[in-house]
Amino acid sequence: MEQERERAGGGDPLRVCVVGASGKLGRYMVRHALDRGYEVVGVCREKSVGKLAEFADRITVVPGQTDDREVVGRAVAGCDAVLTVLVPWGVRGYSSGTAQAVLDLAPEGARLVFSCGWHITRDGEDVYSRRFRATVRAVTVLARLARVIDVDDQVEACRRVFDSGTRWTVVRGSDLEEGESEGLPVWSRHVGDPVLASNLTRRTDFALFMVEAITDDALVHEAPAIVGRRTPSARAHARTSRPHGSQEAR
Ligand SMILES: NC(=O)c1ccc[n+]([C@@H]2O[C@H](COP(=O)([O-])OP(=O)(O)OC[C@H]3O[C@@H](n4cnc5c(N)ncnc54)[C@H](OP(=O)(O)O)[C@@H]3O)[C@@H](O)[C@H]2O)c1
């Protein structure tokens, strides 16, 4: 296990960049990466650097917008993996700009793991409830009208990731809650799988899944939709409809 956490053939720890490190998900990812002994580089907006104070002496912070190619280029240099928080802030292509910078500038062969929500579909085979679709539609329209968030730009960002020739994984989060870790979430290739019906994951476990994906080659070129392993749907269905590569809930 220790070996797979280190660079092949060497004793150096993996070097991992977290793009969007100061957010809630970002800080959990930094914590999990440090727990594994990884070397961590975090990118966050200049005004948010203080939110990383608890990690001050243990990580390198590169301040700047996450869609700034110069900033991202400096941060990902020499990294074995890049964990990217995709959030579609504003209406100027923030999410797609961030994804494109990581895709273009991360070292060849690096593991690239991106976060988004269940609303992103890779192959159109996800089955959403009427309520879920209505909510996404309402948020998309209202947030864009208010010029706060552009959900379509997150869709575009993920399309670019899916079409890239990189070693990507796009982790699709359910609704999130705070709380102690329940362990690695279970996952399915498609929303609509009964194992996901509870639609709830602890935020720390979303981050755990992102960090674990770095060393899980079964997740390369997958877009796992995740749910907490202790939720009722995971407990009820993990054994019967266990999707490829998922963890059995206990
Ligand atoms: N929240 C949910 O219920 C939910 C559900 C499913 C999936 N997800 C996914 O989870 C990920 C992040 O979730 P989270 O709850 O951890 O979010 P969060 O804490 O709000 O973090 C979001 C990120 O956006 C940045 N940000 C905030 N305002 C910004 C602005 N005006 N301009 C540019 N950047 C800004 C934050 O940076 P600063 O620290 O600089 O503010 C932070 O890096 C996303 O990929 C999202 O799609 C979330």
Q: Which helix (H) or strand (E) holds 39?
A: strand 39-44
pLDDT digits 0-9 by tens, 66-115: 999 999 999 999 999 999 999 888 878 899 999 999 999 999 999 999 99
- Taking the C-alpha atoms of residue 159 and residue 179, their distance in angstroms, rounded to an integer, is 32
**Ligand 1 centroid, distance to 241 Cα (angstroms):** 31
* Most informative mutation of 24, 25, 151 for ligand 1 (most atoms within 8 A of CB): 25
The model carries a pTM of 0.93
- Among protein residues, the one whose CA lies closest to atom 36 of ligand 1: 23
DSSP annotation of 249 reads P
**Ligand 1 centroid, distance to 20 Cα (angstroms):** 8
Set out the domains of the chain in order of their start, with CATH numbers: 14-237 (3.40.50.720)
The number of beta carbons lying within 10 Å of the beta carbon of residue 80 is 22
pLDDT digits 0-9 by tens, 211-247: 999 999 999 999 999 999 999 999 998 765 444 445 5
Tokens for 101, please give them.
């910078």
Of ligand 1's listed atoms, the one at least distance from the Cα of 25 is 16
